[in-house]
């Protein structure tokens, strides 16, 4: 076959998730971008909640999309800062996350409400199978940074999450993070 792309290398700052060279603009997510995802909407529309730094390649099945995500520490009305979370549009597409810095939780959920939570930290390697929605939550005092790698044509479905949320929410408790059922989710299933 005739190769489609030339090889390339990018230097990744393992602490901050920055890329050199930066092959695409970072994609910041502010309070205003996260309306409808927390139990209570962020008060400050200008607050930076997280930032995605993509390494762009064609969004096709033959390619592997790669990006870093850095979530700032903090809470929104007691819920730890988190990503929107999504199913893949092509539901069977899987993904790998690798924790680089900070302390987090990876929350995964199926469409019938089963859910699963894994701690994230430097070196934690997470396999997210097809059919599982995924959201990352910063439960620490420092930025949470991780690397994501996924099949190029996966796509992100946020509408299902906006409608139902995840089966569980992660709040700051007296003794650290507390995972509890989301009262708004229509079908909370088993913790697997
Ligand atoms: C994409 C992959 C990540 C997320 C990123 C932000 O499939 O899972 O790159 O896009 O962590 O999360 P979200 O839920 O806002 O896309
Ligand atoms: Zn994904």
> Is 96 in contact with 72 (CB distance < 8 Å)?
no
Confidence of residue 68 (pLDDT cuts 50, 70, 90): very high
Q: Is the CB of 145 under 6 A from ligand 1?
A: no
Give the list of residues 6+ apart from residue 71 with CB closer than 8 angstroms, or none: 49, 50, 81, 82, 83, 102, 104, 136, 137, 138, 143, 144, 145
- Rounded to a whole number of angstroms, the distance between the first and last alpha carbons of the chain is 43
pLDDT tens digits, one per residue of 3-46: 999 999 999 999 999 999 999 999 999 999 999 999 999 999 99
pLDDT tens digits, one per residue of 97-151: 999 999 999 999 999 999 999 999 999 999 999 999 999 999 999 999 999 999 9
The pLDDT of residue 103 is 98
Q: Where are the domains positioned within the chain?
A: 16-181
CATH code for residues 16-181: 2.60.120.10
Report the atom number in ligand 1 closest to the C-alpha of 67.
9
The pLDDT of residue 10 is 97
Gap from CA of 156 to ligand 2 centroid (Å): 6
The pLDDT of residue 189 is 94
Pocket test for ligand 1, best of 95, 107, 148, 161 (most atoms within 8 A of CB): 148
Burial degree of 89 (CB within 10 A; 0-12, 13-18, 19+): middle
> Is 148 in contact with 88 (CB distance < 8 Å)?
no
What is the chain's length?
Answer: 192
Q: Which ligand minimizes its atom distance to the CA of 162?
A: 1
Among 38, 21, 20, CA closest to 29: 38
Confidence of residue 183 (pLDDT cuts 50, 70, 90): very high
* Token pair in block for residue 97: 């996350």
Report the atom number in ligand 1 closest to the C-alpha of 146.
11
For residue 21, is the peptide bond before it cis, meaning its omega torsion is within 30 degrees of 0?
yes
Q: Is the CB of 126 under 6 A from ligand 1?
A: no
Which percentage of the chain shows pLDDT scores above 90?
A: 100
Gap from CA of 26 to ligand 1 centroid (Å): 13
The pLDDT of residue 159 is 98
């Amino acid at each position: 076959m005739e190769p489609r792309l030339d090889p390339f290398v990018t230097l990744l700052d393992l602490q901050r998730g920055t890329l050199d060279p930066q092959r695409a603009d970072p994609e910041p997510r502010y309070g205003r971008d996260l309306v409808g995802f927390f139990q209570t909407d962020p008060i400050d529309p200008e607050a930076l909640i997280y930032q995605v730094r993509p390494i762009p390649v064609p969004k096709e099945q033959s390619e592997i999309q790669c990006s870093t995500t850095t979530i700032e520490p903090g809470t929104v009305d007691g819920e730890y800062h988190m990503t929107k979370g999504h199913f893949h549009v092509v539901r069977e597409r899987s993904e790998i996350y690798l924790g680089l810095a900070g302390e987090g939780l990876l929350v995964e959920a199926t469409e019938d409400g089963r859910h699963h939570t894994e701690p994230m930290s430097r070196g934690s390697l997470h396999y997210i199978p097809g059919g599982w929605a995924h959201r990352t939550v910063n439960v620490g005092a420092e930025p949470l940074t991780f690397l994501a790698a996924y099949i190029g044509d996966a796509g992100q479905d946020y509408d299902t999450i906006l409608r139902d949320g995840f089966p569980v929410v992660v709040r700051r408790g007296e003794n650290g993070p507390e995972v509890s059922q989301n009262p708004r989710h229509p079908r909370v299933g088993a913790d697997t």
